[in-house]
Each structure stands twice: as C-alpha cells, then as structure tokens.
Amino acid sequence: MKEILEPKILYQEANPYGSFTAFLEDDGRTVYLYLQAEENPDFSMKSVWVCNRIQAPKFRTEEELRSGLPPVLAEEEVLDSSPIAPFQEEEIHFIWTEEGTGVAFFYREELVAYLPPWSGVKDFHGYSKFAKTEALTAYPLGNSEFGTIPDRIRQDRTHWEFRSSPNVWKKVQELRLSFLENIFGNHDKYWSADGGKFPQLGIARFRWNLLPDVYIYATLGMSSQNMPGVELYRKDYEDYARTELLFAVKVSDEDRSESWVPHQIGEIIRYPWSMGKWFGHGHTISMSRRDPEALHVTFTSLLFKELDAKAGHPPLAGLVAENGRPIRFLTLLPVSEEEREVIQEKGAKEFLALWEKDLPVWIHDPERKSVV
C-alpha cells in the first residue's frame, strides 16, 4: 500500500451565505470532497469520493475499513484502476447549489464530482466522474454535460450570475414591496435585516386600512433564493422553496410591538441558510423575544402557518419569484409551550382545528387565551 501522507487540503471555499464550507482533500491514497457546517452544530459532515490516487485494489479489506481512513474504491468500482494524477490547485473551482448545502467540483472547466443537498440520506454520498458503479462512497456521475445533474448545476450557475448582476437587490426588493403595497398600502417603516451579510434582507411594516388595529410586518428577500432541505420532504419542492414571512400583531392601547416583533423576525430571517433547514406550514421555532403585551399566555415558540385563499386571509397569491416559481407566505403565530407540545404530538392541522372554530387565524393577539 502506498505510504499514507499527511492529508492536504487542495482547495477550500465557504458558500455565499458563509454557513457551510466545502474542501477538497488529498491524503496520497484518495481525494475526497467534504462539506461541513459553520453554524449548525447538529450537522454531520458530508463527503464524496472523488478519485483514487493509488492503483485501485482488487478489494477492500476489513482492516482497511476499520482504519478510520477514507475508503479507497476497488477495481470493479472505478472506470480506470490506474492512479489519478494530482489536481492542480489553480485549476479547481466550485459551484454552490442555490440553497448553499451542496457543491459541484470543476477541474479545468469539467465537472468532476457533485456533493448534492441530499448527501447523507440513506448512506448516499454523492457523484464522481471516476466512479463506475454505485460504490460505498460515490455513485457514477454519468454524462458531465447533459442530464439531470448538469442541468441542475447550470440552474445554480444562472442563479449566482443573476445574484451578482448590478442593482439586483433593488430589483428583488421592489418586486416584493410593490406586490405587498398593492394589497396593504404604502409601508410606513422599513428595517434592514441582514446584518451586512448575504443575502440582503429587509422587513417592512404596513397598516392595512381593512384592519386599522393591526400592524403587519413582512420580510423582503427571503424568497430570492430557495430554502435548503425542502426537496428532502417534497417532490414538488420548487413550488415550496421560495417563502416570505408575515407577522401580523394586534395593536393595543400601549402598543409595544415595535420593541420586539422586528427584532424577533430579524433573529430567524437567515435561519434557513445558516442552519440548512426550511420553514414550512406546521413547523415551529423557539422565540428568543418576550411579548411584553402577553396577558394570559406565556409565548415560547412561533408556529408557521401558510396563508392561502381562505376567508379572512389577505389575498397574497400570485407573486412569482425571479426563477418563475411561486412565492408562498407564512404567517408567524406565537404559541405556548403546552400548545407547541400539542402541535408536535397531534400535528398542526389538529391544533389549528381547535383554534380556528370560526375563522382562520393569521393575526397574533397578545391577549388571547390558551387553545389547550
């Protein structure tokens, strides 16, 4: 066996959100592409075999598999059993998936390996152009220019080219703000909510003349890129991956919503891309802010509820993102710890059925009583 060298990182790059880092490592035996999280401590590192740097063995031994070293692929698993020459660092570049949780490795403009967002599911790792069969740590890439994977990577490239074009944030902002103002009227306040990080994000506040005792806070910019993880749960993920949030709050005599609502939204607005997770109908997330207006209930979590065409919901259908996909709106509803437990045990549908006996609920009432 070839002497094991100190692993060398040939290339390393963070995704545009700064939340995941991919690196290409050569240990003298193999080259692997890895993906690690920078902000999510529960994320398990992903990897995919790229190639062997030694002659492919006839088979792997149990001793080798127990060694803790990245597995070499065997002769029958690779297209060519000869050692692959070292990659030159200056010829390497990555293209990230739009969600930031997958990465494509190109060498001299040729697609070599793909670590997709579904890496790690059911012991699947990713794809390599040097793999011949569905092996332990890599599947065959197939045609590197035509097919599902190259087409998807081209979509990702198109997305990043659009996001780097001049005045793109202004276009993203105006499309969403114009749509919301056609429904709710002109916004009366605006906050930048990205903290100087990518993607650019904002929060606008509206006072709808149909509901003069309600403030409506809406995010701007979340829907300008897909949320990670949706496709692991939905086949039609592209119709659910673009989302904006609403937080509608009843105004009391001594309204203090501004002291906590935009801050609360601001603290979760980057969550999908920083943690590699998505927001959808029925999901919950912990609240980091206390509602100073709460009267009967101690609110500890936020329930995400999709706004649709039901009576009582604002007419928010019809907004289309830059990629031609629909933008969905989720309203945030504070719930207590006991209510959250019911949601987790019985599901959001059953919980909302208890709550919505007369009209669909989409507005937070700090003076409401517990549903359970």
- Asked if residues 330 and 246 have their Cβ atoms less than 8 Å apart, the reply is yes
Q: Given pLDDT bands bounded at 50, 70 and 90, which one contains residue 63?
A: confident
- Of the candidates 266, 306, 313, the one whose C-alpha atom is nearest the C-alpha of residue 287 is 266
Cα separations in angstroms, 300 against 98, 270, 350: 32, 20, 20
**Strand locations in the chain, DSSP E?**
8-14, 20-26, 30-37, 46-52, 92-96, 103-107, 110-115, 127-128, 139-140, 189-192, 202-206, 214-220, 243-250, 284-286, 299-306, 328-336, 363-364
Q: Is pLDDT of 60 > 90?
A: no
Q: Given pLDDT bands bounded at 50, 70 and 90, which one contains residue 75?
A: very high
Q: Is pLDDT of 4 > 70?
A: no
Q: Is pLDDT of 106 > 50?
A: yes
- pLDDT for 169-204, tens place per residue? 999 999 999 999 999 999 999 999 999 999 999 999
- Of the candidates 257, 240, 246, 248, the one whose C-alpha atom is nearest the C-alpha of residue 220 is 246
Q: Is the peptide bond before 199 cis (omega within 30 degrees of 0)?
A: yes
Q: Span 266-274, mean pLDDT?
A: 97
| pLDDT of 143 | 86
Q: Given pLDDT bands bounded at 50, 70 and 90, which one contains residue 357?
A: confident
Record the tokens describing residue 95, joined without a space. 């293209």
Q: Span 38-50, mean pLDDT?
A: 97
Q: Half-sphere exposure (CA, 13 Å, Cβ side) for 203?
A: 25
Q: Span 79-89, mean pLDDT?
A: 96
Burial state string for 330-343 with b = 16 or more CB within 10 A and e = fewer than 16: bbbbbbbeebbebb
Q: At what angle do helices 337-346 and 348-355 cross, to 10 degrees?
A: 130
- Asked if residues 156 and 228 have their Cβ atoms less than 8 Å apart, the reply is no
- Of the candidates 82, 80, 61, the one whose C-alpha atom is nearest the C-alpha of residue 129 is 80
Q: Is pLDDT of 125 > 50?
A: yes
- Of the candidates 332, 159, 115, the one whose C-alpha atom is nearest the C-alpha of residue 244 is 332
Q: Span 79-95, mean pLDDT?
A: 97
- Phi, psi dihedral angles at 343 (to 5 degrees): -60, -45
| pLDDT of 3 | 54
C-alpha span between 318 and 42 (Å, rounded): 36
Cα separations in angstroms, 281 against 206, 352, 361: 23, 11, 13
Predicted TM-score (pTM) above 0.85: yes
Which residues contact residue 317 at a Cβ distance below 8 angstroms, ignoring those fewer than 6 apart?
Answer: 308, 309, 326
Q: Is pLDDT of 20 > 90?
A: yes
Please provide the distance, in angstroms rounded to a whole number, between the alpha carbons at the two ends of the chain.
65
- pLDDT for 206-248, tens place per residue? 999 999 999 999 999 999 999 999 999 999 999 999 999 999 9
Query: What mean pLDDT value characterizes the chain?
Result: 95
| pLDDT of 248 | 97
Report the largest interatomic distance among the alpha carbons of the chain, rounded to a whole angstrom: 78
| pLDDT of 255 | 84
Asked whether the CA dihedral 230, 236, 242, 248 is positive or negative, the reply is: negative
Scanning the chain, the segments in alpha helix (DSSP H) are 62-65, 148-163, 168-184, 261-268, 271-275, 337-346, 348-355
- Of the candidates 280, 270, 275, 277, the one whose C-alpha atom is nearest the C-alpha of residue 332 is 280
C-alpha span between 291 and 62 (Å, rounded): 58
